[in-house]
């Protein structure tokens, strides 16, 4: 059950799961009066009364149409940057609450990775460790026009960097922000909204944060609040309908149905009725590979055991099918940059 908290299920196409509060914030940012809301909602099938209800959820198609309407209603080319500043952690509901109370930035980023579908279903968030950085990358799985994609990329980068600043206590000046869009004419203003080094025309949207910074304890961490928000987010995630999903998600599901670390790449390919080479190619197209998925699953389960139980490190190693505790410790150090004991001690502090 523990590992389920870290696996992002695919969302059914056309599912209404995006809270309307984001669009209400858009309306305020545009300075719209109540009588002007139909302009924002044009071609969505949503009425102004529905938009104002707290319980209203939008489909990805409706949300994207609203963003297209936004670009017709404003001549502010920097609207994405300005709007991103309005999306503080508290605007993200239980997810924002969990992020704010996370023990450190890495745990907060993993919360985004797992529970982002409860807030937006057409953006997929990946997290991986490089030598010096944790890289947060993502992609939109729907067709977007260039201006909407640029606006959303600016908003996503702003949201992540604001959360990072809240947790570490200062702007993340050492971050690298990679945007897939070409450098816009207003690029000289980016530094006023986003700290760090900015690059354009990258292969995909990505944010690189120094690994050491991701381990800095959150001064506002609160285990009780974190646990409560985690339960709320998991409940919402469980209620979302699923579909077949990506190859990565299929592999994740397979791994959950096997003992940790046991499923081999050959077995996974056979279960999908494809060759190992075809599986590798499909995962590569999704920016992943079998070993990375396995490491992510094992690292998330290891982290959960360490944070939420008093089980010994050797017992956790055995639960994750490491026959040698020293092998588990080496793998953990590679994943998190800390030993299991250091990781647990830091979270308790």
Region 220-238: mean pLDDT is: 87
pLDDT of residue 37: 96
Tell me phi and psi for residue 19, to 5 degrees: -60, 140
208: part of which helix (H) or strand (E)?
A: strand 205-210
Fold for the domain defined by 2-214: H-NOX domain (3.90.1520)
Token pair 């669009």: residue = 23
User: Please, which residues bridge with residue 19 across strands?
Assistant: 57
| Neighbouring C-beta atoms of residue 14, cutoff 10 Å | 11
7 pLDDT exceeds 80?
no
Query: Three-class SS of residue 218?
Result: coil
Between vectors from CA 331 to CA 223 and to CA 280, what angle results, nearest 5°? 105
User: Please, which residues bridge with residue 217 across strands?
Assistant: 104
Residue 40 CA to residue 32 CA, distance in Å, equals 9
Query: Is 218 or 255 the better-scoring residue by pLDDT?
Result: 218
User: Are 126 and 287 within 8 A, CB to CB?
Assistant: yes
Domains 2-214 and 244-348 share a fold: no
Q: At 259, is the pLDDT very low, low, confident or very high (cuts 50, 70, 90)?
A: confident
200 pLDDT exceeds 70?
yes
Query: Three-class SS of residue 13?
Result: coil
Tell me phi and psi for residue 52, to 5 degrees: -80, -5
Q: HSE (CB half, 13 Å, CA atoms) of 151? A: 23
Model pLDDT for residues 62-105, shown as the tens digit of each residue: 999 999 999 999 999 999 999 999 998 888 989 999 999 999 99
Model pLDDT for residues 146-177, shown as the tens digit of each residue: 999 999 999 999 999 999 999 999 999 999 99
User: Are 20 and 51 within 8 A, CB to CB?
Assistant: yes
Task: Delimit the domains of the chain by residue range.
Answer: 2-214, 244-348
Residue 215 CA to residue 104 CA, distance in Å, equals 6
**Model pTM greater than 0.75?**
no
Tell me phi and psi for residue 26, to 5 degrees: -60, -45
Q: At 245, is the pLDDT very low, low, confident or very high (cuts 50, 70, 90)?
A: low
Mean pLDDT of the chain: 88
CATH number of 244-348: 1.10.10.60
Q: At 270, is the pLDDT very low, low, confident or very high (cuts 50, 70, 90)?
A: confident
Model pLDDT for residues 11-24, shown as the tens digit of each residue: 444 578 899 999 99
Residue 289 CA to residue 296 CA, distance in Å, equals 11
């Amino acid at each position: 059950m523990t590992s389920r908290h870290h696996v992002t299920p695919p969302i059914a196409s056309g599912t209404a799961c995006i809270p309307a509060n984001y669009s209400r914030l858009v309306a305020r940012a545009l300075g719209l009066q109540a009588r002007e809301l139909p302009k924002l909602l044009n071609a969505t099938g949503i009425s102004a009364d529905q938009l104002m209800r707290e319980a209203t959820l939008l489909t990805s198609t409706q949300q994207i149409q609203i963003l297209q309407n936004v670009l017709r209603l404003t001549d502010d080319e920097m609207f994405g940057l300005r709007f991103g500043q309005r999306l503080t952690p508290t605007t993200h509901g239980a997810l924002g609450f969990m992020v704010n109370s996370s023990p450190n930035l890495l745990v907060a980023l993993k919360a985004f990775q797992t529970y982002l579908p409860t807030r937006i279903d057409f953006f997929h968030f990946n997290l991986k460790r490089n030598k010096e950085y944790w890289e947060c990358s993502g992609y939109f799985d729907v067709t977007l026009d260039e201006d909407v994609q640029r606006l959303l990329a600016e908003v996503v980068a702003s949201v992540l960097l604001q959360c990072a600043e809240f947790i570490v206590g200062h702007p993340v000046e050492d971050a690298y922000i990679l945007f897939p869009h070409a450098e816009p004419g207003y690029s000289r203003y980016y530094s006023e909204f986003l700290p760090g080094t900015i690059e354009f025309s990258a292969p995909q949207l990505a944010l690189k944060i120094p690994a050491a910074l991701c381990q800095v304890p959150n001064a506002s961490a609160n285990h009780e609040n974190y646990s409560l928000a985690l339960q709320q987010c998991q409940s919402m995630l469980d209620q979302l309908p699923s579909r077949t999903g990506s190859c990565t998600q299929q592999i994740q599901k397979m791994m959950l149905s096997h003992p940790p670390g046991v499923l081999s790449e050959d077995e996974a390919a056979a279960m999908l009725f494809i060759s190992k080479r075809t599986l590798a190619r499909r995962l590569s197209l999704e920016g992943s590979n079998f070993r990375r998925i396995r490491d992510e699953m094992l690292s998330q389960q290891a982290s959960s055991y360490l944070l939420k139980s008093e089980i010994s490190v050797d017992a956790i190693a055995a639960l994750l099918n490491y026959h040698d505790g020293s092998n588990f410790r080496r793998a953990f150090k590679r994943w998190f940059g800390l030993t299991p004991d250091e990781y647990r001690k830091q979270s308790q502090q």
